[in-house]
C-alpha cells in the first residue's frame, strides 16, 4: 500500500472522531489490522475498502485516489491469465 493511502485512512478516521478500536469493531477486524493499514504495512481487503468508503461517505476510487486505483488495476490485468469461455453445459 502506498504511504499516502495509509495516511489518508488515518486522517479520515480521525476526522470522523473514531478510534482504531471503533473502526476495527465496525469492520469486524482486529485493531492490529487497522494499525497495519494506517502504517502502510498491509492493505485492507476489497470488502473492507468498500466498507471504509461507505463509512467515509465516498467511493472506493475516492478513498484510494484515482491514480493509485488505476495503477493497481493495471497490475492485475497484466498478470491475469487470458480469459477462456466456460465449457458448454450438456443436458
- DSSP output for 1-29: --HHHHHHHHHHHHHTT--HHHHHHHHT-
**Count of Cβ atoms closer than 10 Å to residue 9 Cβ:** 23
Q: Which residue has the cell 498491509?
A: 42
**Greatest distance between any 2 Cα atoms in the chain:** 58
3-state secondary structure of 17: coil
Asked if residues 54 and 46 have their Cβ atoms less than 8 Å apart, the reply is no
How many angstroms from the chain centroid is the CA of residue 49? 3
* pLDDT confidence of residue 75: 53
Mean pLDDT across the chain: 78
- The per-residue pLDDT for range 11-42, each reduced to its tens digit, is 999 999 999 999 999 999 999 999 999 999 99
Mean pLDDT of 2-7: 76
- Band the pLDDT of 78: cuts 50, 70, 90: low
* % of the chain at pLDDT higher than 70: 68
Amino acid at each position: 500500500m502506498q504511504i499516502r493511502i495509509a495516511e489518508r485512512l488515518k486522517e479520515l478516521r480521525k476526522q470522523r472522531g473514531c478510534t482504531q478500536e471503533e473502526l476495527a469493531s465496525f469492520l469486524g477486524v482486529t485493531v492490529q489490522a487497522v494499525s497495519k493499514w494506517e502504517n502502510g504495512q498491509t492493505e485492507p481487503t476489497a470488502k473492507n475498502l468498500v466498507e471504509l468508503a461507505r463509512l467515509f461517505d465516498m467511493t472506493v476510487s475516492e478513498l484510494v485516489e484515482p491514480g493509485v486505483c488505476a495503477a493497481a488495476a493495471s497490475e492485475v490485468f497484466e498478470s491475469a491469465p487470458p480469459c477462456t469461455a466456460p465449457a458448454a453445459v450438456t443436458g
